[in-house]
Structures are given as structure tokens and as C-alpha cells.
Structure 1
Amino acid sequence: MVTFDCRAERFDGVTLVTAVVSGVTEPTRLTVANRLDGPVYPPRRQGVSEAGWTDDGFEGVVRPGTRALGYATPAPAADSPAELVSAEPVSDPPTDDRLDTEEAVLRELGDPSPPADAVPTDDADAPPTAEPTATARSDGPPVDRATTAGQPLPDDVSRWLDTVARRVDRAEALAAADSLGEATEAVRAAGGLTGVRTLATRGSVDERCLRSLARRAERLADRRAAATVPVETLARLA
């Protein structure tokens, strides 16, 4: 007997829904509907929605066993976020149709074109001036330039911010281009039309990530400021 269990959790303005379908003993077509008042943000692979997902939920043929389904939505959480509408056995097992469409190829293998950040430009290898990481002194070893706040950022965070900053620089150049020459140069710097499309699709993702990072960093900074370690008291107790 096919059983269905689901739950929803709210994080930073987004509801994450997790559903588990168990007891599938033969190839079965599942239809799972989102019951929250908002669109479905399906799981993605290589930038493409996983097969079977629509704005309303999931429909697809699954093999025997247990199948986990998860998606996000901006809608508020509720006790019954999703519903198993139907579970109908099918005579033929699901075929391996992973590469039968352009989206399926991208999902499985990824976009064959180089990402915009990998296309060399005049200043592609230099960190942006708004978020510098390091420079060399003529009289000594390299020193971190991001010390205006008193403490340099960790390397991984700084590198990620540099990468996003380069994308922002290119997006701003594309938006500001008001002549054929400027537009041509901006498109070239972005890596061609493929790079332009990549910048366009990543814009909202970058913004959400940056705002989420800012909120989390602010909360952690407040907590850290309030967490005063009683060193002398602990030393006496020890």
C-alpha cells in the first residue's frame, strides 16, 4: 500500500516542503499537488527543473521503493502542504528518457558553454576594487587590503563575493550600454549571448543569496556581541 507523508518548514521567507512516498511495489505514476497558496519552486539540476515538476506539483512514473520529493514556495507553511492525488500502477517500467529533450540534456550534462566568469577579459583576473582581497607591497609579503573594518574576510567568503561582484559589474555594464559599440563590448565582456543569458538568470539568485547572507551575518553579529565570555570567572572556577 502506497503511503504519503509530508511536512513544511519556513526559513527566511521561503517554505521548504518535504514529501516521502513509501510502499511503491511496482512502477507507478505519482501525482503530487502543492496545497499551499503559492507557486512551486522545483528542485533543479544544472539550472534546469528536475523532470516531472510543474508550477502545481509533481507527476511522473517512479520505480519500486521509496521516493522523496522536495520543493520550495514563497507561500506560508501549513499542516498539509502537499497531497498525493493519485498513485496508479503502470504496465511498463519507466524508460531512461533523460536525454530526449534539450532541457534533459542540460539537466544531465550541464551547459556546454563556458560560464561568464571563465571568459577572460582585460580585468578578469583582478579582484574588483569594491571588494579587494589582497595586494603586494614592494617591501614585504602580500597583505590583505580588506582591513578597513578591522578584520579581513575569510578567503572562501571573499572569493565568493568577488565572483558575484564581477557578475554585478558585467550586468551593470550591460544595463548602462546606450550605443552599439558599448553594447557590443559589454556583451563580449560577459562572454557572448550565452554569458548574457547566464547573468540574466542568475540575477535573482545572487540577490537572494546576498540578502540571506546579510541577514544571517547581522543576526550572528548581534548574538556574538551579546555573548560575553566570563574569562576571569571561569579561570577562578577552574
Structure 2
Amino acid sequence: MPTVTVDTRRTNGVTFVETRVFAEVPHRIRLESRLGGPVWPPRSGGQVAAGWDERGVTREVPAGATGFGFATPAPPTEPAVELTAAEPIAGLPDGIGTWLDRLEERVATAETLADADGLPSATSAVESAGGLAGVEALAAALARDRRTVSRLSLVPEGLRQRIEGVDVPTATLARIADE
């Protein structure tokens, strides 16, 4: 099981979080912020770095040490970051990592849709999901994903819990769009 060390530094109202994951063999890991504010992930060319979402990061790490960092407006607390999933990846069939990345993206999109708390955020979430047709396709894909995840042991527990806990409010979003 990988281990994690975390350092935080607060400057000008921003907390910078530096995390190091130490693994003896390659793993697919999920790190989640436990701070009371949004995660500001690293960006390159204005794009969020691969594997990051509003709660943390899901990535493959090689054997040895791998660093991750993000910022947040929330003050530091303990623990600042938690390793919520770790699955060894040595010997996984080709394409599993890619499928898990896509599954993570679908779950993150569904969480954004489910968290929409008003017309502006719902409109933005629906647009980013590809409109109502995209929302409906996402809901159908998540239903298939739930069936698949229930039969696979290689899906990290944190991702398994997230997919079981999120519902895409398709009917509510369609009703809002008609208004």
C-alpha cells in the first residue's frame, strides 16, 4: 500500500498543498482534499492537468516517489489530503487504465450535474456535458458502468463509492431547460 506525506503552506489567503506518494510497485491512486474549500488543481496552457477534478486527483504512480500539488482558499487542517484508493496496476490488461480514467471523468461530470444548485450552475453543467442529449447519454453510460463496476475488483474503492452515490438528475435538468 502506498504511503503519503503532506506539507501545507498558507500565503496571502491561499493554502498550497504538496503531497508525495511513495509506492513499492506501480499503483492507480486517488488522493482527495480534506480541506473545506475547492481544489485549485495544476494547469497547463489553461487546461486542468490530467486526472484532476474538483475533489482531488486519480492517477497512476510508478514505484518510488511521485509528487502532487494543488492550492485552495481553505485554511489548512489535518489531514489535508487522504489516500482514498490504491490499486496495484502491474499486470492489468491493456486499456484498463484508460477505461478507469474515462469512468472517473464520467463520474466527475455526473457529480457536477448533481451538485448544480441553481439555474446558472445547471445551465453551465448541462452545456459542459454536451446539452440534454449529453446528459441523457451520460446517465445511460453510468448505468452500464455501475453494472460493470459491480463485477470488477480492480476498480478503486473510492471510485466505486462515488459511482454508486451519484445520480444524474436528468428529469429535473430537462424540466429546467423547458422553462
TM-score, length basis structure 1: 0.37
Structure showing greater relative contact order (alpha-carbon pairs closer than 8 Å, 6 or more residues apart): 2
The structure having more radius of gyration, on CA atoms, is 1
